[in-house]
A and B are shown apart, each in its own frame.
Chain A
């Protein structure tokens, strides 16, 4: 069956450390993968997109990697801050899938302690 899994439901780290979140998928051929941030009581907000032919993407303190052999994306937040505490969702679009249609993981709740 097709699955997209975010390995940790929750991740607790100390301020200043690097947070690493994992997204794995099986039986999909993603055209691209996206990462979103969701705060309590709010809708998800787009952070980064990485295409199937890209290995790494960066935006400020955020870095995303994409390994189509391992079928895995890693999302890193360097020099983490308490304000980074939120739930992070990965989402992929299948090759040949309807334009814009995404499959979402269940999310990882990140808590950054001062």
Chain B
């Protein structure tokens, strides 16, 4: 089992370009998350999806959109990238229940010039 996979691993964009970060999990989990991690800021939640067909904003959703394509896949889209979106992006999943750990993907390192 691959667990949580993310593509691409690295990406460089110019300001104003768009792109989609892909996340897939084979753990049969209901909940999926997108975080960004910046030096000195820690992990911050962008969007999450508690189940297939639902999405909700997290702490820092501005400039992003998400799609929960099916139970396995949760994508994050930057419509018009800005230098402030330079970051490392992590996807995570967790199963249903009150006390469950989150399983993280390997991350996507995005640079916006």
Contacts and interface: CB of A to CB of B under 8 A. Distances in A.
Contact of B102 (A32, A98, A100): A100
A64 to B, nearest CB: 13
B43 A99 contact: no
Chain A interface size band reads 20 to 34
A43 B104 contact: yes
B14 to A, nearest CB: 24
Interface string A47-77: 0010100000000000000000000000000
Contact of B50 (A51, A89, A99): A99
Interface of B: 4, 31, 33, 35, 40-45, 48, 50, 56, 58, 90, 92, 94, 96-107
Interface of A: 31-32, 34, 41-46, 49, 51, 89, 91, 98-102, 104-107
